[in-house]
Amino acid sequence: MAVYTEVDDDALAAFLGHYAIGGLRGYRGIAEGVENSNFLLETTQGRYILTLYEKRVKLGDLPFFLGLMDHLAAKGLACPTPIHRTDGAVLGELCGRPAAIVSFLAGVWPRRVTLAHCAPVGEALARLHLAGQDFAIKRANALGPAGWRPLFEACRPRADTVETGLADALARELDHLERSWPKELPFGVIHADLFPDNVFFLDDAFSGMIDFYFACNDFLAYDLAICLNAWCFEADGAFNATKARRLVAGYARARKLSPEELAALPIFARGSALRFLLTRLYDWLNHPPGAFVKPKDPLEYARKLRFHAGAGNLAAYGIENGETA
């Protein structure tokens, strides 16, 4: 269970005294999630999500994350809305941790991604990018290209214990991406972690997105490439070009991609595969005994990275001559 800090009844009751959301009926820990402790609250006014921010989340980043959710919700994007305390603040303290309450978002995430999921996800991502254009607070992408080499160097000495030759392969890939990374493309707020478990559907219709705690400012097309990795590979590791075409077409319905952005998708997909490979590898190599959360397999992303390195052009992604329809 991803509950790192236990909450007792008295402390929670005192914390809820700062909110006008009714009396507490019950609460339970939420097993999913990696970074923070999450609880489902039931009050006399409805359901809410309580989050205690653990040590990996920087306190200084919380105004960006919570402010962004407030901003996007006000723009009509289906996402959790921070609940303001009676003093107007959105952040408090509970059990020695910074804590916030957000609205409950109905729906379930797709355990098996189908073609029907892909276009709505692409469109929702584009609407997020458009809605975030006038968000005033900025946050650099700590897990962008500038952060990859320090992660790699931390993993290099033991990388080959996970797969023989992995350290040298990662070194070559990192050198290539640092030389080839695009410049001067549309830039703005990105989600940066829009995996299937962060997207909800109700009766096969998109109902919203959650978990904005990796959100930052970066190239918009890079965010789309993260989704190509997260949504378009099958369980056997095969890339599904039809899913990719639907995802990109859904995005383009809400926000037109420039020819330069389309041309950059293969390198962005390659870079995002390296990013998730490195963070998974670091967690795999530094997993504390007895930890609640099992680390994710880094080799899943090693296989994805090899696909992108061999893809070469947009045709490998089901997109030919810039066509996204």
**Rounded CA gap, 73 and 78, in Å?**
6
List, in sequence order, every residue forming a beta bridge with 217; answer none if it has no partner: 140, 189
Vertex 291: Cα angle to 235 and 233 (nearest 5): 15
**Rounded CA gap, 266 and 233, in Å?**
15
**pLDDT for residue 321:** 54
44 CB-near residues (< 8 Å, 6+ apart):
22, 23, 25
282-310 residue pLDDT tens: 999 998 776 666 789 999 999 999 999 99
At 114, is the secondary structure helix, strand, or coil? coil
**pLDDT for residue 312:** 75
**Rounded CA gap, 145 and 262, in Å?**
19
**Rounded CA gap, 37 and 1, in Å?**
9
Residue numbers in the chain where pLDDT is lower than 50: 1, 325
**pLDDT for residue 1:** 38
Token pair in block for residue 27: 């609460």
- Residue 95: phi and psi, rounded to 5, are 55, 40
Residues shown for the chain: 325
List, in sequence order, every residue forming a beta bridge with 189; answer none if it has no partner: 217
Residue 18 — left, alpha, or beta (φ > 0 → left; ψ -120 to 50 → alpha)? alpha
Residue type, 242: T
**Rounded CA gap, 145 and 130, in Å?**
24
203 CB-near residues (< 8 Å, 6+ apart):
none
**Rounded CA gap, 241 and 247, in Å?**
10
Chain-centre distance for alpha carbon 115: 20
At 79, is the secondary structure helix, strand, or coil? coil
**pLDDT for residue 325:** 45
**pLDDT for residue 290:** 60
Cβ-contact 215, 65 below 8 angstroms: yes
